[in-house]
Chain A
Amino acid sequence: MFKRLRGMFSTDLSIDLGTANTLIYVKDRGIVLDEPSVVAIRQQNGQKSVAAVGVDAKRMLGRTPGNITAIRPLKDGVIADFHVTEKMLQYFISKVHENSFISPSPRVLVCVPCQSTQVERKAIKESAMGAGAREVYLIEEPMAAAIGAGLPVEEASGSMVVDIGGGTSEIALISLNGVVYSDSVRIGGDTFDESIVTYVRRNYGSLIGEATAERIKEEIGCAYPGNELLEIDVRGRNLAEGVPRSFTLNSNEILEALQEPLSQIVSAVKSALEQSPPELASDIAEKGLVLTGGGALLRDLDRLVAEETGLPVIVAEDPLTCVARGGGRAMEMMDKRGFDMFAHE
């Protein structure tokens, strides 16, 4: 009863609980929170407490003293640390309801990877409940991404969406509000970063952090050879000398570094196309497939997929927020038309 009363003063939230970033979408307000899924834990006298969450915690990544650990509670799209995830969600929910004078108890929709197990889904659900949610709905990420991208998921026409997140890449064929085929590969933005770190270590003998690798990827990373060559100055610790050294990387080198994870994503897409029913394959061949997620922002990734599949490939508008927006839209559709497109435990 009291939860329902509190619920009246809470807004429904659609949460894209990603490995790299957590986004929260609120109806009529849009994306209200976009913060890294990072929590800094302070350990004092055997007691653990949360030192920082989100942007503040991410700034601490790799720069923490002995008693503080900055961790990512999600790995490969699923919960790796239950309690820390709960604390993080609690922080984010209260941050969204900053102006509320009653502690919030919202309805929450959380996006889960297609291939997540029942245990993983239950963990996410209970984590959200523990963070103060009144009701928790789960939706598969590609479905939310497709809705967020504006694909006609309700129609009897196949739509293909490739959602490249931080930890996983989800590929799904959607028709009539349902997922016809889905696949998930544990390759995403984080894998791109790791590949860049490995490349730099191997070719320059220097060690760079994940944050630096991410910056390199964002600034000069590309998936297809272009006309212009971009360069970036990077500082890393030289492994042989043990002192920081500065060097320059160009976009072709990053392209080479990303070959391996990119080819795995392309293979997964091809595999999905091979397994799609002929009618849906024909729809996709006509309309093309849509890229969403932060990974879709990698320069010329659409050109690479188009080249490899021979299909029209488009990048959704604002791909980073597609899943969160789609989740919010799904909740609205559920309220209005009683849609059942949610994932079950």
Chain B
Amino acid sequence: MLKIDPSRCSNSQNACFLTELVRDCTFKVERIYDFRGGKRLNVLKNLVGILDKVEKPSRYIGNEYNSVKKRADMRMCMIFPDLYDVGMSHFGVKILYDIINRSNFASCERSYLPWFDMQSAMVENDVPLYSYESYTPINEFDIVGFTLQYEMAYPNVLRAMRLGRIPSKREERDDGDPIIIAGGPCAFNPAPMEKFMDAFLLGDGEEAIIEILKAVKEGVNRKDKLKKLSTINGVYVPDYNFKVEKRLIADMKKEWAPIDQVLPYTEIVHDRGVIEIMRGCTNGCRFCQAGMIYRPVRERSDTEIFELSSEILKSTGYEELGLLSLSSADHSQIKGTVSLLKEFKDTSLSIPSTRANAFTVELARAINTVRKSGITIAPEAGTQRLRDVINKGITEDDIFGAAKLAIENGWKRIKLYFMIGLPTENDEDVQSIGKMVEKIKKMGFFEVAATVGVFVPKAHTPFQFDPQIMPDEAFRRIKLINWARKFAKLNFTDPRKALIEGVLSRGGKEIGNVIEKAEINDLIFADWDERFTPDKWMELFDDEKIDLEKLMGLKDVKTNFPWDFVDSGISKGYLWMEHQKAISGELTADCRNGCTGCGVCPQFGVDNVIQSEILK
């Protein structure tokens, strides 16, 4: 407790101080944006009373630099169903936020799911979930959009609706409630969340989002709005349309890149300026859902990346710039891009998602900003046979060549990513992970860290037909690698978490009941280790009579999947063919080197946008 020396007390200057006090203690933002009556004032007034009592209050205050306060006829709130620290790093929200706020008829605000302490305080103090721009309760918006980036966040979505006083089931909502829409990769299997969503946007949102806002604006009532939404390409409205093709933009227009990126006060997961250098991936890794559903590849040119990056850094003041893509080292102009971006003084570059080969190390050396303490490569599997099954496209020589080059260039720590439970995996494949870790350690690294995840087959991939190993088997396989702990720090993701993720990702409409009960039972933030309670999930699966063995089991081309009506552009036949090639260990080449016949380009009348090809 502070002890105050009474002799230091003074009342002088208090009188003139008062007028300034009123100004400095008042929250100005709410006055400016209180354009719909007094409700915003109440949210903010109550909010101020509780921020002193919660952990990291800065994650709840909004009012960030570059956030947009705009009056508009149509108001949308984008919600990332996780903590602010995670959600603020998500690039998709930045893109749509920017596009909507530059439109002449709509505004976009943001919200996130508060942590438990804040949720309790909000409920106790009658504060509904609110937007971070105008402190408007989310149920006052015309549209509320959720991004579904990972399945474990499904209960979070329902909690956000509960905190926002929006009925979670679509059948319970009426004309006074917002239209609830979801997008993101998980939306490609809409079934588990169908009970709760009015509509899903599948694929690229840059053009579709404006059409969605217009449809909702023009709709005279809820039914009419949903009917209009169902006519938009890429939008699935349950009960209104029964087949949907993903939305695709042929090219990434420069004006779609968000420049004035909102700056968080609190430290977030990826606290840096972001430029998306490429969308889609041509590698054809068979386990990768993003690589399948975001085809084809669309690269930005090196000069455009430079110009946009310059504007982003100027607008934000960020000291780090991240080049975003699914596989940055594959960008045809990556070397030129990096040398252009090195012109930015006092700015470091980060290039995540690179491949496990020597070029990755060369890139890291070229940007010269990766701390020599750590480099990351992802072999994914321990044997070449299994890497061929998953079509990873890298050899043992690539991996050890990259490690050798890394150590020659001063890296002392290396991080490796692997998966167990991949299709056709045998014990030798698993043990080889340990052998690879041992060999890399013996190359002279001070520290080797290996993260080993349990493979979860995803919808719209060639492995959607494959079984997922159950936790008991996963624990057995983990024991086969445990001996390698003397060479590396081994981190295993919890196999029970993988099982739950598998159920949520490949389940059907029946999973909606599980999600609903999970939220009621407080199984939110399930992806956070400290909040993960697998036994409660298993009880829910039992209660709802979910046949886990069947759901996780082997399927074939005749299986009716809950997502069959969603057309990603890649036919089920192609996925089945890729599945069979996987079983026989046959590789499929990178489609930059020739079409592999997946069908996306002809269906949408597009082609890969490869900048080096354009220059030719």
Pairing of A with B: no
Binding site for B on A (CB under 8 A): none
